[in-house]
Amino acid sequence: MKTVRQITILGSTGSIGESTLDVIARHPNRFRAFALTANQNVEKMLSQCQRFQPRYAVMLDRDSAEQLANAIQAARIDTEVLSGIESLEKVASLPEVDAVMAAIVGAAGIRPTFAAARTGKLVLLANKETLVMAGRIFMDLVKQNNATLLPIDSEHNAIYQSLPHHFNGNLSTNGISRILLTASGGPFRCTPLATLEKVTPEQACAHPNWDMGQKISVDSATMMNKGLEVIEAHWLFDAPPDKIQVVIHPQSVIHSMVAYVDGSVIAQLGNPDMRTPIAHAMGYPERIESGVPALDMFKVAHLDFEEPDFKRFPCLGLAYQALASGGNMPAVLNAANEIAVESFLKERMKFTAIPAMIEHVMQTVQQEDMTTLEDVLKTDTLARDVAREWLANLQ
């Protein structure tokens, strides 16, 4: 008889968190939402607590936690409300927890994700920044504590499914020639370059295929999202930068591919719905129902592929540059990008200023090695300060 797997969801009110809860609801005899966490969305968290009755609900914002606690008490829900980053780390590492869905967007998700790995959990990784900012440190932590790491990003999950079952982290000895990372190209794939500086946050967030949060949607529009995924793929699959090729595939049906030395290319296909990789990782090594409709190949009809235009998408080139430089540069890239996207969404700067800010910060912050999480967080703070100073001078 299978035991029920207790799951902590870091970022339960976001799109990945909601999709995870949908999969949990389809398999009540296999999974239970042990702890749910969010930043400030009290209304949605209360609704989730009413439905899933978690043991803990954590709000990063303390005022929001107080509001939630009052609402939980009034609704007579048997859920304990906690607050702050330390509580996120707690619910990611408690002995009762079997798996942690790491779905907090941004650098805020690093510490609880580290806590999950440090305590040997099954880490379902949807937080890009953990690998982008602290790839070597995090991968070493996973190995040292016998944690299990499964990727949730649709692209990396597709690569994972397309690799040999015995893959040991060495591309050449497994007959792999390249990893092909697909990208939709976002909403501005065909937009005239001269008009890009006038695009609005609403236009940048209107992704043609995926329903995502604002930050990830803007990253897709700049293709920084793909750049961050290149860095992730480097650490997840021990792949050199020149073995990771980005392929623009507007239909978002092929989620990524693995090319082999014999000429074979193995691809994972499916409708663009995050419940597929979530269900794959949650049920692994079994396949479980996800709620995603079967792919209709006749409706798809054709599949298109293009090389990325680095002039149109300079953020993609900056990500490759950061990975090649190594050390603290990917963390600098990520921090600068978070400030840039936030500033664009608040209409404090133009869309085309995003790569300009990032390039300035990468040129300003001195390159150095990092050996601890504290080094990573210090770099993150420094890069954000430089980005804010650049923005202040711009205005």
Burial of 321 (0-12, 13-18, 19+ CB in 10 A): middle
Looking at residue 16, what is its pLDDT? 94
Q: Which tokens is 364 given?
A: 């300003």
Which residues in the chain show pLDDT less than 50? 1
pLDDT in tens, 251-286: 999 999 999 999 999 999 999 999 999 999 999 999
Looking at residue 168, what is its pLDDT? 87
pTM assigned to the model: 0.92
Q: Is 123 helix (H, G, I), strand (E, B) or coil?
A: strand
Looking at residue 154, what is its pLDDT? 94
pLDDT in tens, 11-30: 999 999 999 999 999 999 99
Do strands 244-248 and 254-260 pair parallel, antiparallel, or not at all (unpaired)? unpaired
Looking at residue 1, what is its pLDDT? 44
The string of DSSP codes covering 48-90 is HHHHH--SEEEESSHHHHHHHHHHHHHTT---EEEESHHHHHH
Looking at residue 210, what is its pLDDT? 66
| Cα distances (Å, whole numbers) of residue 393 to 348, 357, 368, 383, 389 | 12, 11, 26, 16, 6
How far is Cα 61 from Cα 218, in angstroms, rounded to an integer? 24
Residues near 144 by beta carbon (within 8 Å), at least 6 away in sequence: none
How far is Cα 65 from Cα 381, in angstroms, rounded to an integer? 25
How far is Cα 156 from Cα 154, in angstroms, rounded to an integer? 6
Looking at residue 339, what is its pLDDT? 97
List for the chain the helix, strand, coil content (%; round to 5): 50, 15, 35
Structural domains of the chain, with CATH: 5-151 (3.40.50.720)
